[in-house]
């Protein structure tokens, strides 16, 4: 089952490495921070960068969330497993499928997609957004981003994915 560790934004990698150091105690199958690729202009040049998909969250695949929680108590940065009323809630199957539709185990980086705009329609030509245009809520062509909404432990989160519009047709 997948569980979500919530931490302070900007501390995800540090928390991941602290949990990773005690991996055997947690019976972890996978521990990751989902990321996405985006083209950014840096000093006049377009460069492919990776950014965190859900700032403040680390994902843990384990059968023993109580062991993960025990390890989290020893981590100095604020962390907690998401849940309610002293119960750890695993991600719903639909939430796991959503993430797995865009990235795969061992490679939790969502590649940048590319597409064209025809009138008021967006057509994705390649990348993980291909076949998922109905999920796109908004496109920012200048920042090369597609905005989607996804559910995490029942909470709706807005996420950004890299989308390069290579052509616009009227």
Region 50-63: what's the mean pLDDT? 93
How far is the C-alpha of 161 from the C-alpha of 152, rounded, in Å? 16
Per-residue pLDDT, 88: 79
Report how many domains make up the chain. 1
Q: Would the pLDDT of 138 be above 90?
A: yes
How far is the C-alpha of 54 from the C-alpha of 9, rounded, in Å? 9
Q: Where in the sequence is the domain holding 100, given as residue range(s)? A: 2-169
Q: 87 pairs with which residues across the strands? A: 84
Per-residue pLDDT, 26: 81
* More confidently predicted of 168 and 76: 168
Return the sign of the alpha-carbon dihedral for residues 91, 94, 98, 100.
positive
Q: Would the pLDDT of 65 be above 80?
A: yes
Per-residue pLDDT, 70: 85
Model pLDDT for residues 75-115, shown as the tens digit of each residue: 877 677 677 666 778 888 999 999 999 998 889 999 999 99
pLDDT band at 54 (very low <50, low <70, confident <90, very high): very high
Burial category of 144 from C-beta neighbours within 10 Å (exposed 0-12, middle 13-18, buried 19 and up): buried
Per-residue pLDDT, 82: 72
CATH number of the structural domain spanning residue 142: 3.30.70.940
Per-residue pLDDT, 75: 81
């Amino acid at each position: 089952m997948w569980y979500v560790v919530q931490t302070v934004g900007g501390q995800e990698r540090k928390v991941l490495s602290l949990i990773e150091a005690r991996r055997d105690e947690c019976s972890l199958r996978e521990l990751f921070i989902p990321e996405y690729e985006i083209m950014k202009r840096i000093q006049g040049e377009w460069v492919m960068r990776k950014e965190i998909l859900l700032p403040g969250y680390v994902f843990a695949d384990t059968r023993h969330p109580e062991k993960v929680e025990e390890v989290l108590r020893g981590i100095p940065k604020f962390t907690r497993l998401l849940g309610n009323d002293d119960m750890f809630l695993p991600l719903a199957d639909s939430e796991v499928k959503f993430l797995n539709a865009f990235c795969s185990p061992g490679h939790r980086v969502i590649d940048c997609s590319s597409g064209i705009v025809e009138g008021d329609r967006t057509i994705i030509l390649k990348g993980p957004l291909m076949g998922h245009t109905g999920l796109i809520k908004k496109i920012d062509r200048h920042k090369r981003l597609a905005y989607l909404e996804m559910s995490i432990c029942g909470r709706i989160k807005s996420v950004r994915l890299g989308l390069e519009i290579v052509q616009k047709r009227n």
